[in-house]
Chains A and B, each alone.
Chain A
Amino acid sequence: MPDAVEVRDVARSFGRVHALAGVDLTVAQGEFFGLLGPNGAGKTTLISILAGLVRADRGVARVLGHDVVSDYRRARRALGVVPQELVFDPFFTVRETLRIQSGYFGLRHNDAWIDELLHHLDLTDKAEANMRALSGGMKRRVLVGQALVHKPPVIVLDEPTAGVDVELRQSLWAFIRRLNADGHTIILTTHYLEEAEALCHRIAMMKAGRIVALDTTQHLLSRFGSLIVRLSAAKVPERWLARVTRNEGDVHYLELETYAELEQLLAALRGEGIVIDELTVAGTDLEQAFLRIMAGSATSDEAIVAAPVPEA
């Protein structure tokens, strides 16, 4: 079974800027994969190369085994892309937009699926509205619809929830999850790290055109996450002062590695007779892992983790 996406040594420069400096990446069929990184990391360039919107300077990119340049018809038929920019054609209604997009893929009589898409994207009552009349969130959902008109086995979502309100974001994710459960491979880029944490089985983190971390979400969290302890007390035991990240009067924030360390901290507090007025622990999250990896990768070109691809 070919990989959903296979990228080998792909590089691309724009003038003197190395948008991608030799990227290798494999995404198995059926994965829900996250592609994270700060602005300018190369995520959109990588997606654009997969979609045939940008040509790589070197390297090979395949979608379901089809080369995106030499076998572009099959590669593009296998791929659905929700672009980052909120773009639309002002001449057409929502339904016309989706029919035209179907037609570009050679699909006629696609109305049953278009109606289903409109329903899932909560756009049924806007089907005959001109694109200009839609709010930003609605336009974003039409973009999702356009990416799905040809039922692509591999779906790339480049910041799909920017500008979409919370309720609709939830329904959109429920729909995308269903597509993934039906066997579609999903590749997601987002700045909402909690979304990536909740949805993605595996994550690649990019920085300056390179992949600096690639592992399962769980693995990244356990290796690079930390505990933030908010301690309200008169003082912090001497030995733990190095772990304090900031103080607000009698409220101290400490960063710990593990729950075992938390127990040691509590023992130290008891041992020195320090009264705890209040104590809360913020769990490990992807944002912390992300910040640590990004900070750590600044001094190293080496990718941090490369775990085997899980069976999907």
Chain B
Amino acid sequence: MRDLPVSTVSPGGGFVTLFRKELLRFWKVSFQTIASPVLNALLYLLIFSHVLASRVTVFGGQVRYTEFLIPGLVMMSVLQNSFANASSSLIQSKITGNLIFVLLPPLSPLDFYAAYVLGAMVRGVAVGAGVFAVTLAFEPAMAALAHPLWALAFALLGSGILATLGLIAGMQADKFDEIAAFQNFLIMPLTFLSGVFYSIHSLPEFWQALSHFNPFFYMIDGFRYGFFGLSDVSPARSLALVALAAVLLAALALALLARGYKLRN
């Protein structure tokens, strides 16, 4: 049994398998990982649009509040689920000990990074698409996007950033508790205070200024531009900032993986 025919060893095959494993992992529990967040977003839409639709004016009245809310909820779902997938997959594997199956094979830091991040992005975008599809039942006119490629670019970059943050949080954490803290004390506040439910122009000046330091604001504002052609700040500026954040975080994650930070110790 000693020698393997060289033809059966495919370069990069390790990445493909780890990526597929990451997809299978959430797909096997899709009720929890996809259906449940779609329902959550739908409940937000029903409650907030019912309570606020007649009271809130956004973009100077050019867009109805319910329409305004939909891209925000879609992007929020993309971001939260991308983070949740990467972080929970890694922490589960660390705590159950089965991470060893990924650490023993000859996978490079880039293989590892790409598989976890792409797997998480697929889940984030799938949930976002699910939320969008369901909300179309309430607002069919939303199907016509002003700039679909802009929306897609922000969705992909945003999910990539949150997936990378999830990967870093998963590496850093030793307990589920720490992931929950990261999620509840950082990701949730930054998402909720980023303009998912409101336009920052409706805020007092101080809070408006502060919102510009929230990276999530640019992701959601740019994504919304893809739907309406309207945004609180220039979409090109948002895109540049979001792309820069994505590159910096990817570099950090790769450096940590190359060191085996809290994985190989």
Contacts and interface: CB of A to CB of B under 8 A. Distances in A.
Interface in B60-97: 93, 96-97
Interface string B185-218: 0000000000000000000000000000000000
Contacts of A184: 2
B147 interface: no
Interface string A106-142: 1111100100000000000000000000000000000
Given A54-B264, A77-B106, A108-B10, A101 B25 contact: no
B6 to A, nearest CB: 11
Contact of A108 (B2, B3, B8, B103): B8
Nearest to A90: B96
Interface string B226-247: 0000000000000000000000
A20 interface: no
A261 interface: no
A187 B21 CA distance: 30
B106 A91 contact: no
A182 interface: yes
A53 B96 contact: no
Contacts of B106: 72-74, 76-77, 105-106
Contacts of A179: 1
Contacts of A79: 104
B1 A105 contact: no
B264 A53 contact: yes
Interface stretch (A2-10, A146-154, A200-208): A146-154
B16 A87 contact: no
A87 B98 CA distance: 5
Contacts of B18: 103-104
B4 A150 contact: yes
A151 B4 contact: yes
B13 A106 contact: yes
A97 to B, nearest CB: 8
A51 interface: yes
Sorting the interface of chain B by its residue count into under 10, 10 to 19, 20 to 34 or 35 or more gives: 35 or more
A81 interface: yes
Given A72-B106, A87-B100, A90-B96, A104 B264 contact: no
B140 interface: no
Nearest to A107: B8
B100 A106 contact: no
Given A103-B20, A182-B2, A52 B104 contact: yes
A54 B265 contact: yes
Contact of B13 (A55, A96, A108, A146): A108
A104 B24 contact: no
A105 B96 contact: no
A108 B107 CA distance: 15
Nearest to B9: A106
Nearest to A77: B106
B104 to A, nearest CB: 6
B28 interface: yes
A232 B28 CA distance: 67
A22 interface: no
Given A54-B264, A55-B265, A110-B8, A104 B17 contact: yes
Contacts of B93: 89
B265 A146 contact: no
A113 B8 CA distance: 12
Contacts of A88: 96, 98
Contacts of B1: 113, 151, 179, 182
Interface in B1-45: 1-4, 8-14, 16-18, 20-21, 24-25, 28-29
A53 B100 contact: yes
A104 B96 contact: no
Given A72-B106, A85-B97, A146-B101, A107 B13 contact: yes
Interface in A81-101: 81, 83, 85, 87-92, 96, 100-101
A38 interface: no
Contacts of B3: 151
Interface string A48-75: 0001111100000000000000001110
A106 B12 contact: yes
Given A53-B264, A182-B1, 16 more contacts: A51-B103, A55-B260, A77-B106, A87-B96, A91-B25, A100-B101, A101-B105, A102-B17, A103-B21, A104-B17, A104-B101, A104-B105, A106-B10, A108-B10, A151-B3, A184-B2
Enumerate the 9 nearest inter-chain pairs by beta-carbon distance, A residue then B residue, closest first: A103-B17, A106-B13, A104-B105, A87-B97, A73-B106, A76-B106, A89-B98, A87-B98, A106-B9
Interface of A: 51-55, 72-74, 76-77, 79, 81, 83, 85, 87-92, 96, 100-110, 113, 146, 150-151, 153, 179, 182-184
21 contacts: A52-B103, A52-B104, A53-B104, A55-B260, A55-B265, A72-B106, A77-B106, A79-B104, A83-B100, A88-B96, A89-B101, A91-B28, A103-B13, A103-B16, A104-B107, A108-B10, A146-B101, A151-B1, A151-B2, A151-B3, A153-B2
